[in-house]
Amino acid sequence: MKVLRFQAQVDETKCVGDKLCQNVCPSGAIQVVAKKAKVDWEKCVGCGKCSDICPHDAAKLVRLAQDKIIGIAPEELETLAKEIDELCWEAGLPPHRVMCSCTRTPAKECAAAVLKGAETPEEITAMTGSGSGCGIYCLARTLTLLKHHLGELKPPKGHKWYDSTPSMWDVPPEVEEQHPESYLKEDRAMRLEYITRKGAKQ
Ligand code: SF4
Ligand code: SF4
């Protein structure tokens, strides 16, 4: 969940259509059509990356008349709780764990976005605000979540994704069995206990 106070706007008289903004937008909100950038406010999460990168001063953030909240409503999280739990734990992400440190979005909210149809990190960002800060550390976790739900993924043309980092949660059980000397099972159990205790306190 994120509170928006600003969203992007383009001054078409200054826009030269070089797509720099389109390539850095984390939610796919700004697209160049007929050589002019256009912003979809349904998707814009007000991160300001377009305005930071625009060399022609065409993309700018404008103050909204009223704050706007984006995210998955608590009642939807409640309704989807069982499926969210299953998806998060399958991906090795405790549901209450923060996925995006910049916006403090928990894994359960991103999982809910996936269950509601998001198929790319950009769609998750547009639905939750997650990934609208640095966009680096959350991306690996976001891709892990999507891969567990959809299988292999391909980045959209022109976009770069840092791939998900394999962790102890990705080691198949048969490999774990073959290498008891690595204490993977014990490490996972300890980590889970720590995360569960930490989550209970939040
Ligand atoms: S970066 Fe600026 S000039 Fe380039 S397409 Fe986007 S708004 Fe237009
Ligand atoms: S989400 Fe960020 S980069 Fe994309 S249009 Fe909105 S302010 Fe610009």
Q: How do residues 1-58 score in pLDDT, each as one tens digit? A: 899 999 999 999 999 999 999 999 999 999 999 999 999 999 999 999 999 999 999 9
Q: How many CB atoms lie within 10 A of CB 197?
A: 9
Find the largest Cα–Cα distance for the chain. Answer: 65
The closest of 33, 39, 34 to 10, measured between CA atoms, is 39
Q: Is residue 64's pLDDT more than 90?
A: yes
Q: Which atom of ligand 1 sits closest to the CA of residue 57?
A: 2
**Domains of the chain: which residue ranges?**
2-70, 74-165, 168-202
Rounded Cα–Cα distance for residues 99 and 17 (Å): 33
Among the ranges given (97-101, 117-121, 125-129, 194-198), the one the predictor scored with the smallest mean pLDDT: 194-198
| Closest Cα to atom 4 of ligand 1 | 18
CATH number of this structure's domain 2-70: 3.30.70.20
Model confidence at 156: pLDDT above 80: no
* Ligand 1, atom nearest to 16 Cα: 3
Question: Does the predicted TM-score (pTM) go above 0.75?
Answer: yes
Nearest CA to ligand 2 atom 4: 25
Q: Does the pLDDT at position 190 exceed 90?
A: no
Q: What tokens does 61 get?
A: 């953030």
Q: Whose CA is nearest to atom 5 of ligand 1?
A: 17
- Asked whether 45 lines ligand 2 (CB < 6 A), one says yes
Give the pairing of strands 30-33 and 36-39.
antiparallel
